[in-house]
Amino acid sequence: MPVQPPRSSRSVALGIVGLSVGLIAVLGLFVWAIPSLTEENKVEIQIGDDVFDAGPASQRADSIDRDGPVLFSDVASGQRDIYLQHVGTDPAVGWLAFDARRAEVDRSCTLQWQADSSSFTDPCDGPPVDEVGNGLRHYAVTVNTDGQVEVDLRTSTGTQGAPSTPTTAAPTTSTSSDIVISGR
């Protein structure tokens, strides 16, 4: 019968001490370090911009006229997928940005563009949605003096899909002025 070597009580004690120190360090991280990251004792994470550049207005308008509205997926949380739509012939006006699905449904219910009927279908058996997204939450859209389409996800403009019209921008500190286009 083989004889087992005696265990070193010193090795066992060192292992227990090391494990204890590690657990105390992790506990300290969660109890003291992480809550102190913000003034409100909670971690705040924000990924992505609330206002984003959707590209050159003339190119986006041509693309939408040819292929239909553009779906922008919210890769950060998946909660604010939107469609960018353009109606009319003038790339400076007629912009709409609205939710890509009805409220309180998951991503499997993202609306799908149907070019033949110029409307969206709901894969979750909801009623069709017209080309301007009536009934969905809309967001402010601007075309700046550089001709770039910008969508402001902080500003809801309601649930009616009236295309945007240009308005005069408020004075800014920059040397260029912006043309503000907002939905009604």
For the cut 50, the answer to whether the pLDDT of residue 179 exceeds it is no
Percent helix, strand and coil across the chain, each rounded to 5?
Answer: 25, 30, 50
**Of 100 and 182, more confident:** 100
Count other C-beta atoms under 10 Å from residue 160's C-beta.
Answer: 14
| pLDDT class of 174 with cuts at 50, 70, 90 | very low
The CA distance from 42 to 36, in Å, is 8
Q: Pinpoint the alpha helices (H) of the chain.
A: 9-28, 57-67
For the cut 70, the answer to whether the pLDDT of residue 27 exceeds it is no
DSSP 8-state assignment for residue 79: S
> Which of 11-20, 23-32, 86-95, 119-128 bottoms out in mean pLDDT, i.e. has the lowest?
23-32
Q: Tens digit of pLDDT for each residue in 133-153?
A: 999 999 999 999 999 999 998
Which one-letter amino acid corresponds to residue 156? S
pTM of the model: 0.62
Beta carbons within 8 Å of 34's beta carbon, 6+ residues apart: 43
Q: Is the dihedral of CA 130, 113, 148, 138 positive or negative?
A: positive
50 φ/ψ sector (left φ>0, alpha ψ -120 to 50, else beta): alpha
> Which of 6-10, 31-35, 147-151 bottoms out in mean pLDDT, i.e. has the lowest?
31-35
The two tokens of residue 181 are: 């286009």
Q: What's CA 125's distance to the chain center, in Å?
A: 25
For the cut 60, the answer to whether the pLDDT of residue 165 exceeds it is no
Confidence at residue 180, expressed as pLDDT on a 0 to 100 scale: 40
Question: Residue 36 phi/psi, 5° resolution?
Answer: -85, 5
Helix, strand or coil for residue 118? coil
For the cut 80, the answer to whether the pLDDT of residue 79 exceeds it is no
| pLDDT class of 51 with cuts at 50, 70, 90 | confident
> Which of 21-30, 59-68, 131-140 bottoms out in mean pLDDT, i.e. has the lowest?
21-30
Confidence at residue 123, expressed as pLDDT on a 0 to 100 scale: 94
